[in-house]
Amino acid sequence: MADCIFCGIASGEIETRIIFENDDIVAFKDLNPQAPTHILIIPKKHLTSLSDAKAQDLELLGKLQLAAVEIANKFGLKDFRLVTNNGKGAGQSVGHLHFHLLAGRRMLWPPG
């Protein structure tokens, strides 16, 4: 999508420091970190939110989860939180499915 900042990052049109990338996924540090480690993990395919995922996205959703584990291992993170916000009411601020990998501090429950 032309007006999606995360699509611009995924396509390379918008520069950022990529910390993980494969054919389907890109990950980079959040510009407004909420923990010492705060990484955004996005699919290159545009999905506005998790609610937009269909049966044909099942493999991609699994790849996102496995990418989170690979990134956590790369950074030596034993404990981490993986979060996705679905819709503005849940705190989603960018209309492109993304996961927040948070680590480096004690996480509280409930989160928000």
* CATH number of domain containing 32: 3.30.428.10
Each residue's pLDDT tens digit, 7-61 = 999 999 999 999 999 999 999 999 999 999 999 999 999 999 999 999 999 999 9
Each residue's pLDDT tens digit, 60-110 = 999 999 999 999 999 999 999 999 999 999 999 999 999 999 999 999 998
Q: Is residue 110 part of a domain?
A: no
The whole-angstrom separation of Cα 69 and Cα 63 is: 10
Q: Is residue 109 part of a domain?
A: no
Number of domains in the chain: 1
Q: Is residue 10 part of a domain?
A: yes
Catalytically annotated residue among 38, 96, 98, 100: 98
| Class of residue 57 by CB neighbours under 10 A (exposed 0-12, middle 13-18, buried 19+) | middle
Q: Is residue 91 part of a domain?
A: yes
Q: Is residue 50 part of a domain?
A: yes
Domain extent, residue 59, equals: 5-103
Q: Is residue 49 part of a domain?
A: yes
> Does residue 98 have an active-site annotation?
yes
User: Global pTM?
Assistant: 0.95
